């Protein structure tokens, strides 16, 4: 999971400064601004869609998707290959076959359930690898590229239900293509800043300075909306696969305790816990209990 702590940035193009040096120049800039704003607005509207159906939990928020799916898929494949290559060189890739088989078995049960949210996902080239590390971490890239670190399994003494909660949550990020959405938001922000700089007569250095700030914000953990979506989809995936969705609550209790102990919970650093989140997980785990009970019959 990778949650941003900030809301999605405003992608509306910046307006021209009212303190223009000359009236005719101001009118000229406003004319350009209106045209650019219209083009930008049309482009953004055309790029808004939902990557998933809602499922029982209703996760079908419309998203800004300026980057194509093939482009983000290529990025994910390259990034995943590098992680695996580094792990091989360090002799930390799939060294514990017991952990690997366990994670693979749980993932195998979760994958068919993804079709509820998007039919194409069941046909993705899913990959599951376990990396030997003390980090409490796990993630799933676009296209189903999963990595689980041994630290999160061993230090938290995860049950199968709790491990399914983690995997379901991470798979949900991939289903919703949150990384693609984040990059698209960054692109929209870049475009807005460049337009604003041009309209205000600012140099590229000023625009670059503003971009640094925007990049820092966009590279924070996933947004609250992303994390909430991943939580809700995750419990539904788990329930449909026959794992107790209420395990998400015990998982967060363990993660909170691990964080208090200062044991390097990298996963928790990008998945902040709070009372509202716990309450939401409680509500939605109960909502999908019928699916879990049906799957257990």
The catalytically annotated residue of 162, 170, 181, 236 is 170
Hey, which residues does 149 pair with through a beta bridge?
Answer: 131
Nearest to 59 by CA among 165, 138, 177, 147: 177
| Residue 227 annotated among the catalytic residues of the structure | no
Tokens describing residue 276: 């509202």
Burial of 296 (0-12, 13-18, 19+ CB in 10 A): exposed
- Cα gap 50→47, rounded to integer Å: 10
CA separation for the pair 258, 250 (Å, rounded): 12
**Structural tokens at position 152:** 């999160």
Q: Where are the strands (E) in 4-160, listed by range?
A: 48-49, 63-64, 127-131, 138-141, 145-149
C-alpha to C-alpha distance for 293 and 245, rounded to whole angstroms: 10
C-alpha 80/C-alpha 143 separation (Å) is: 10
Q: Which two tokens stand for residue 157?
A: 């003494």
| Residues with catalytic roles | 170
């Amino acid at each position: 999971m990778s949650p941003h702590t900030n809301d999605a940035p405003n992608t509306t193009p910046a307006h021209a400064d009212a303190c223009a040096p000359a009236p005719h120049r101001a009118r000229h800039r406003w004319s350009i601004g209106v045209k650019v704003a219209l083009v930008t607005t049309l482009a953004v509207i055309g790029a808004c869609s939902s990557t998933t159906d809602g499922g029982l939990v209703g996760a079908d928020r419309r998203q800004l998707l300026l980057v194509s799916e093939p482009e983000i898929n290529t990025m994910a494949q390259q990034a995943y290959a590098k992680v695996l290559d580094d792990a091989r060189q360090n002799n930390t890739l799939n060294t514990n076959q017991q952990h690997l088989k366990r994670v693979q078995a749980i993932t195998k049960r979760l994958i068919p359930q993804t079709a509820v949210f998007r039919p194409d996902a069941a046909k993705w080239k899913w990959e599951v690898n376990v990396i030997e590390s003390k980090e409490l971490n796990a993630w799933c890239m676009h296209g189903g590229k999963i990595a689980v670190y041994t630290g999160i399994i061993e230090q938290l003494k995860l049950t199968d239900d709790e491990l399914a909660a983690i995997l379901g949550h991470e798979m949900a990020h991939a289903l919703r293509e949150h990384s693609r959405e984040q990059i698209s938001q960054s692109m929209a922000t870049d475009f807005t800043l460049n337009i604003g700089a041009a309209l205000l007569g600012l140099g590229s250095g000023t625009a670059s300075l503003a971009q640094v700030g925007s990049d820092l914000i966009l590279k924070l953990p996933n947004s609250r909306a992303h994390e909430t979506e991943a939580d809700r989809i995750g419990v539904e995936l788990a329930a449909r696969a026959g794992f107790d969705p209420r395990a998400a609550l015990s998982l967060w209790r363990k993660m909170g305790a691990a964080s208090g102990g200062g044991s390097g919970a990298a996963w928790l650093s990008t998945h902040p816990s709070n009372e509202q989140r716990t309450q939401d997980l409680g509500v939605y785990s109960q909502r999908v209990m019928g699916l879990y009970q049906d799957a257990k019959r």
